[in-house]
Structure 1
Amino acid sequence: MRDLSAELLGWYDVHARKMPWRVPPADKAAGVRPDPYAVWMSEIMLQQTTVAAVTAYFRAFITRWPTVSDLAAAEDADVMAAWAGLGYYARARNLLKCARVVVKEHGGAFPADHAALLRLPGIGPYTAGAIASIAFDLPHVVVDGNVERVMARLHDEHTPLPAAKPILTAHAEALTPAERPGDYAQAVMDLGATICSPKSPACGICPWHAPCAARVAGTAQDLPKKTPKQAKPVRHGTVYIGQRVDGAWLLETRPDKGLLGGMLGWPGSDWVAATGARPTAPPVDADWRMVPGEVRHTFTHFHLMLDVMIAALPMTADPDRGHFVPHERFSPSDLPTVMRKAFDLTRK
C-alpha cells in the first residue's frame, strides 16, 4: 500500500494541477510552506463547487482580504456581496464566524491541530483533515468525491454510496503516508479529477494502472455505485421588484438562518409546495404587474419556481419590509443567483 502512495507522489510531482491556493511540489520541496489561510479559504469555497467556479472568487477574496485578520474585520454585507453567485451561502456566514474565532481565540493563526480545527465554525471532518494535511503536513485522511471514486475503482468496491463511505475512507486511510501526507491528499484528488474521471477514465496513463482491481475486472466505468436519489420536490413563490421614481431599489436582507441567509434579495413570499397556498401580499401598496415567464432555480433539496412582480414606486412609498438602496449603490452582482435571475427576467 505504501509503495502505491510513493508511485502516486512521483506522478504528482510531474502532473500536479496549478491552482492559486496550492504550493507546487517543487516549491514545497524547496521550503515554501502552504498558507493555512489560503488552504482554509479554498476548502470552504470548494465544498460542492468546482475548481473552475471557485478560482475567480478565491483570487478576489485573497486580494481584498489578504489575511484572516483582514477578513475578520470585514463588514458582513461586503463579504456576503462578494460571495454572491457562488451558492451555498451558509459557507459565507461560517467564513466570517471562523475568521473571527481564529483572530479572537488563536491570535490570527489557524491551529496546527486536527481536534482544534474541528472546533472552528464551519469546519467538519473533511475540511479539518484537508487543512491539517495540506497546510500542516499532518497525516490525516482526506476523502472527497474524487477520492471515493479512485478508492472504489482501485479496490473494485461495489457497495453503493453513501453506505460505502466508511469502507472507502478506510481504504484511503490505509494509503495515507506519514511522509508528505498533504501532497498525497492533493495527488489523489488530482488523479480523480484528471485521469480517474467519472466518465471514460484514462486507465492507460494512470499511475495505478497495474494494481487497479476494477480495471482488471472491467468494472471501472460502473464505479462507484450510488443509491438512486429521490426526485426533488418543487416549491413556488413570488418576488416583488420595486424601483422608486428616483431610481432606488426596494431590497431586503434575508434572515441569517435559512436559505440565502444574510444575503441581499427582493422581498417576496414564502417558498411553498402548493402553487395556490403561498401568501402574495406585496411589501408596499403599488400597481404591481406580473412579468411574463418565471424564474427557475435548483437548490440542493428542491427546485424553485418564482413569479416576478414589478412596480414603479412613488417617493412616498413606505414599505412594510425591506429598505431602499440608491441606484448608484445597487449592483445585480451583489445578489445571489436566484435573485439575479429574477432581476434579469425584468430586463428582458
Structure 2
Amino acid sequence: MNFSKTLTTWYLENKRDLPWRKTTNPYLIWLSEIMLQQTRVAQGLPYYMAFTEEFPTVLDLANASEEKVLKLWQGLGYYSRARNLHATSKHIAENLNGIFPQDYKNLLKLKGVGEYTAAAIASFSYNEVVPVVDGNVFRVLSRYYNIETDITSAKAKKEFTLLAQEVISKDDPALFNQAIMEFGALQCVPKNPNCNICPLNTSCAALSLKKVNELPIKSKKTKAKNRFLNYLFILDEKNKTIINQRTAKGIWHNLYEFPLVETEILETENTVLDLIQNKFDDISEIILMETETITHKLTHQHLYIKFWKVKRTSTFKNGLDFENLNKFPFPIVLHNFIENNKF
C-alpha cells in the first residue's frame, strides 16, 4: 500500500474546511500555526478570525501595542506565544521589509518559530519538501511502523523526522503534511481510534500486533507544582480598584492581576485574613467572595485561587472603574471573575 497516496486521498475526502487551508500567505499560516500550538482547532478558530480581522497583515500586527495583542489573545493561554508573535512581527516589519523568510532554514531564525512551525510555513507557503512532525505525526508513524521509541526522548524527533522525510510526497509536500496531521487529528486519535474504517488498517503494524492503544510510547510528565493564590479585589471610597502588571518572567508575563497574597500551602481563612490585614492600615471590610477554591490547571502548575473583597477608607490616585478595568489583558481566570463581579 502506498502510505503517502492513501493519506492524501483520505484527506481530500475528509478534511475540515478551515480558513488557513485556503491560502499560501505565510503570515496567515504562521498565525494559525502559532495559535494551534497546545490549542484545539475549535478553541483557536474564533481567535484566528478575530486576529485576522484586527490585524490583516503582519505590518498591522507589528504596529499594534503588546497590550492590545495580549487582550485579543486573552483566554487562549500560553501567552508567551502572543508575545513572541508580536516581537516577530516587529522584526519582520523593521528588519525584513515586511517580507517573511521563504525557506525552512531562515524561518527557523524567527523568534517563537521552532522546527515544526518552520516546516509548516515552508511547505504550506512555498511547497518546500520538509516534513512537519507534531504529536499527530508521532502517533500516526509510531503506530503504522510499530516504532517503540519514547517520543519525549532526545532521539525521537530526529528518528521520526527522518522517517517522515522518507514518506513525504516530493511532488506535493504541502498536501502530504496537511493530510498526515489531519489523519492524526480525526482518524488515528489518541484513545480508541475506529480502526475498522481506517484506510491503512490492512498494513498498520500496531493494529496487526494489537498495540494501537500502547503507541506512541510517552514517558510520564513531571509532577505539577501547586500554588495557592489569594487575589485582593480592593475597592476604595469611590468604588474604584487597582491592578498590577506581572513583569517577572513566568506564567502570565505582562498580563494584569489584582494585588496578590501567595502562600506555600492552602492556609486557613483566618491565616489569610491576618496576612491581608497586615498589608494595609485603612481596611474597613474584608470578605471572602467564594468559599470554594477555584482550581486552574496549567501545564506545569496547578493554581488554587481565592478572591477576597477588601474595602479601604482611602482613595486611589489611579483607581479604575469597571469600564476601564476591562480594557486591560488579564489571565482568563481573572477576566471571568471581573465579568461576574461588576462594580
The secondary structure found in structure 2 opposite 1:47 is coil
Indicate the larger mover: 88-97 or 299-308. Answer: 299-308
Aligned residue among 203, 208, 219 for 2:200: 208
Aligned residue among 55, 58, 71 for 1:81: 71
Q: Which amino acid in structure 2 is aligned with residue 179 of structure 1?
A: D
- 1:139 and 2:129 matched: yes
- 1:337 and 2:332 matched: yes
TM-score calculated relative to the size of structure 2: 0.88
Q: Which amino acid in structure 1 is aligned with residue 211 of structure 2?
A: T
Structure-1 separation of matches of 2:248 and 2:83: 8
- 1:263 and 2:255 matched: yes
8 A contact 2:20–2:29 mirrored in 1: yes
> Which residue is equivalent to 2:300?
301
Give the 3 Å change call, closer, same or farther, for CA 283–211 of structure 1 in structure 2: farther
Q: Which amino acid in structure 1 is aligned with residue 259 of structure 2?
A: P
- 1:176 and 2:168 matched: yes
8 A contact 1:244–1:312 mirrored in 2: yes
Aligned residue among 320, 324, 328 for 1:325: 320
Indicate the larger mover: 92-101 or 279-288. Answer: 279-288
Indicate the larger mover: 204-213 or 68-77. Answer: 204-213
The secondary structure found in structure 1 opposite 2:132 is coil
Q: Which amino acid in structure 2 is aligned with residue 300 of structure 1?
A: T
Aligned residue among 28, 44, 51 for 1:54: 44
Give the 3 Å change call, closer, same or farther, for CA 69–206 of structure 1 in structure 2: same
**Cα distance, 1:22 vs. partner?**
1.3
Q: Residues 234-268 of structure 1: CA distance to partner in whole angstroms, max 9, x if unpaired?
A: 11122111234444331222116321011122121
How many residue pairs get matched?
332
Correspondences of 1:178-257 after superposition (within 5 Å): 178-255=170-247, 257=249
**Cα distance, 1:135 vs. partner?**
1.7
Q: Which amino acid in structure 2 is aligned with residue 134 of structure 1?
A: F
Structure-2 separation of matches of 1:162 and 1:89: 23
Structure-1 separation of matches of 2:264 and 2:157: 32
Structure-2 separation of matches of 1:156 and 1:285: 67
TM-score calculated relative to the size of structure 1: 0.87
8 A contact 1:81–1:334 mirrored in 2: yes
8 A contact 2:236–2:315 mirrored in 1: no
| Same amino acid, percent of matched pairs | 33
Q: Residues 58-117 of structure 1: CA distance to partner in whole angstroms, max 9, x if unpaired?
A: 000000110000000011111111111000011111111010001111111211121211
Ranges in structure 2 where 5+ consecutive residues have no aligned partner: none
Structure-2 separation of matches of 1:316 and 1:229: 47
**Cα distance, 1:273 vs. partner?**
3.8
RMSD: 2.5
Ranges in structure 1 where 5+ consecutive residues have no aligned partner: 24-32
Correspondences of 1:24-35 after superposition (within 5 Å): 33-35=23-25
Structure-2 separation of matches of 1:344 and 1:117: 40
**Cα distance, 1:39 vs. partner?**
0.5
The secondary structure found in structure 2 opposite 1:182 is helix
Give the 3 Å change call, closer, same or farther, for CA 196–328 of structure 1 in structure 2: same
**Cα distance, 1:36 vs. partner?**
0.8
Give the 3 Å change call, closer, same or farther, for CA 110–285 of structure 1 in structure 2: farther
> Which residue is equivalent to 1:97?
87
Q: Which amino acid in structure 1 is aligned with residue 187 of structure 2?
A: I
**Cα distance, 1:342 vs. partner?**
4.5
Q: Residues 179-234 of structure 1: CA distance to partner in whole angstroms, max 9, x if unpaired?
A: 21111111001101111111221223323222211112121122112212343231
Give the 3 Å change call, closer, same or farther, for CA 307–173 of structure 1 in structure 2: same
- 1:22 and 2:17 matched: no
Q: Which amino acid in structure 1 is aligned with residue 174 of structure 2?
A: G
Give the 3 Å change call, closer, same or farther, for CA 313–66 of structure 1 in structure 2: farther
> Which residue is equivalent to 2:107?
117
> Which residue is equivalent to 1:65?
55
8 A contact 1:333–1:340 mirrored in 2: no
Q: Which amino acid in structure 1 is aligned with residue 192 of structure 2?
A: S
> Which residue is equivalent to 1:6?
5
**Cα distance, 1:302 vs. partner?**
1.6
Q: Which amino acid in structure 2 is aligned with residue 317 of structure 1?
A: F
Structure-1 separation of matches of 2:323 and 2:333: 22
